[in-house]
Structure 1
Amino acid sequence: MLADTFGRVATDLRVSLTDRCNLRCSYCMPEEGLQWLAKPDLLTDEEVVRLVRIAVTHLGITEVRFTGGEPLLRPGLIGIVEQCAAMDPRPRMSLTTNGIGLSRTAEALARAGLDRVNVSLDTLRPDVFKRLTRRDRHGDVLRGLEAARAAELTPVKINAVLMPGLNDDEAPELLAWAMKNAYELRFIEQMPLDAQHGWKRTEMITASEILRSLRSRFRLTPERQEDRGSAPAERWVIDDGPHCVGVIASVTRPFCRACDRTRLTADGQIRTCLFATEETDLRRALRRGAPDEEIAHIWRLATWGKKAGAGLGAPDFEQPDRPMSAIGG
């Protein structure tokens, strides 16, 4: 198992397949983009599959989430999913994407064995989408969502971040639209993972503010805490059901005590936390020919050293050097 000194066991692996993205969301990266990882530094498709296999067969991983950057930009994505779906035991697999290109790939991903998708959509207004992402691709995301639903990559979950002065008034509208279209909406507090290091706690839209906005239109009943398990989202039943909405309060109500995640970056580094300032290199061991058991041992040692929490409220909190696009969601 991937256990730490606080009794937590990681069963959920987040695999970043690329640091590249075809959007430039203001809360993630600058308009001009970033210096991408060099191709030789990236794990090959075979290396990704091998590390997932080690995680599943040696370390007890049961859930695999493919992330980025934008994972649909990874040329070998379909093959990676297909090979992971053939593993025994078979992990449950999902994909976090901005939805651009999903209309072309949803059916193939479903055939390859992907179980479901999370799609980022922060606004229903094309003009606001363009301001937030610096790209005019709103229609592509909507078509991608429709394709995911048609391919039965369900439940199709939508991740939304509210930004002051841009879309902070859209929470009730987004929820009504999501329920109408059978999508499951989750609001996420803006986190200090932007490449510009411009995040300010005093300027973010908090979970409490999101819930207050939603209650202006809907009746919210909290789901039982025991039903949440290790899920990052607090879930609320809307108007007595059947629909729910989730709120991920990473900053104001962190859920570190129940964390069951381990993260693999596109260049083969293990991260025990989104906000970790240290990493453990698996790529080097892979490329010098280390056997599976040795790689699993390195991974276990890294997890054993996992900290109690992200420390977002601590006065000495340091934002990681890597932005979200290079870590994986």
Structure 2
Amino acid sequence: MKQTHIKDSLNRPLRDLRISVIDRCNFRCQYCMPAEIFGPDFVFLPKNELLSYEEIERLARIFVGLGVEKIRLTGGEPLLRRELPLLVEKLSQIEGLEDIGLTTNGVLLPKFATQLKAAGLKRVNISLDSLKDELFGEINGRNVGTGPVIKGIHAAKEAGLGVKINMVVKKGLNHEEVLPMAKFCKENSLQLRYIEYMDVGDTNGWKMDDVVTKKEIFQQLNEHYDLEPVDPDYFGEVAKRYRYTGTDIDVGFITSVSESFCSSCTRSRLSANGQLYTCLFNGEGHDIKSFIRSNVSDDDIVGYVTDIWNHRNDRYSDVRTDETRKNRKKLEMSYIGG
């Protein structure tokens, strides 16, 4: 397929696709899958409600033809999807796709990291919100300590994968872990991403008072480390990055609450149940699964996606107020994976 580049109504190109391959996780993290909602009796999606690997590959080829350069596989916990390295291998053969990443809690990486690297995976983003076993167990809802995740981090590095650590910072919960996490990542040559606690979904009880902003985190770091700003690698790069002076180790901030980046968003998302979303905070998806299962051609799908993207005008973080939060249906993280 000849590659074209589509832009939305605000002149934002489509460059980045997130694909959630499964809606379940081996954690019950209070940020996205709180245990009181996603308990042992919660009914997850049956297999036929998920996009097949063949369907994902077909859509990925079409999206790359429309300008997508990066794909990240998410969940739930994507490593719970059977034979995930097979999907990575299929995607890695798509001409024009420059980068394939994976967001994971890291627990299963000792088993799969080498296979994933051989299949074509470039990097992993591993969630680690505390280095204290008891606190981390409270956050993940399964009383799992940090050991399995840290083993996963080392397995990914040994396999040759790039590794970033994602830390969601919530006031009153793990905000005192900001400096210990920085020290851990710097000593282990790991890129670190501090993520402001976001109002994604309707089940995590989000309040603005719980947000620790980039400014607050940066002030803590700047008291202990010399940091220098790093220029973005590309238009639409989400993280605001800094480098520890004299090193090639960087630390970044995802600031969708305090410093929105809607104007440069180049990302689209496929949910675990086959919905296409143009904004993480928009609960109104487009049922691409039913569309592609209705015997349509690739050209039909190109037209379908192009029409959706061309008419996109999402700016939720720019216009966030108490009223918009109350009145807007939002997508749960378990379906979309961030």
TM-score when scaled to structure 2?
0.92
2:252 is aligned to: 246
State how 1:131-170 maps to structure 2 within 5 Å: 131-135=138-142, 136-154=144-162, 156-170=163-177
Q: Are residues 1:125 and 2:129 paired? A: no
Gaps in structure 2 of 5+ consecutive residues: none
Residue pair 1:221, 1:240 contacting (<8 A) in 2 also: no
Specify the alignment match of 1:107 in structure 2: 114
The letter of the residue matching 2:241 is R
Counterpart Cα distance in 2 of 1:227 and 1:93: 16
Give the 3-state SS of the residue equivalent to 2:206 in structure 1. Answer: coil
User: CA offsets, 1:162-194, max 9 Å, x none?
Assistant: 122332111111111101111100100010114
After superposition, residues 155-234 of structure 1 pair within 5 angstroms as 156-224=163-231, 227=233, 229-234=235-240
Higher alpha-carbon deviation: 194-203 or 160-169: 194-203
Instruction: State whether structure 2 residue 263 is matched by structure 1 residue 257.
Output: yes
CA contact (8 A) 2:32 2:204 kept: no
Give, in whole Å, the separation in 2 of the partners of 1:2 and 1:38.
34
For the 8 Å contact 1:100–1:137, the answer to whether it is kept is: no
Partner of 1:19, secondary structure, is coil
Pick closer, same or farther for the CA change 1:71–1:208 going to 2, 3 Å. same
Higher mean Cα deviation, 72-81 or 234-243?
Answer: 234-243
| 1:19 and 2:23 matched | yes
Give the Cα separation in 2 of the matches to 1:166 and 1:228.
34
| Whole-angstrom CA distance in 1 between matches of 2:247 and 2:241 | 12
Q: Secondary structure at the match of 1:317?
A: helix
Q: Report the Cα distance in structure 2 between the residues aligned to 1:21 and 1:298, rounded to whole angstroms.
A: 31
Looking at structure 2, the residues matched to 51 and 200 of structure 1 have their Cα atoms a distance apart, in angstroms, of: 36
SS, match of residue 221 in structure 1: strand
1:54-95 per-residue CA deviation (whole Å, 9 max, x = no partner) reads: 112x31211110011110011031111001111223441000
Does the residue aligned with 2:316 lie in a helix, a strand or coil?
coil
Q: Does 1:2 align with 2:6?
A: yes
For the residues of structure 2 that align with 1:201 and 1:184, how far apart are their CA atoms?
A: 27
Over 4 Å off, 4+ runs:
none
Residues 100 and 2 (structure 1 numbering): CA distance in 2 closer, same or farther, change over 3 Å? farther
Distance in 2, matches of 1:195 and 1:24, equals 15
How far off is 1:277 after superposition?
Answer: 2.8
In structure 1, distance between residues paired with 2:184 and 2:102: 22
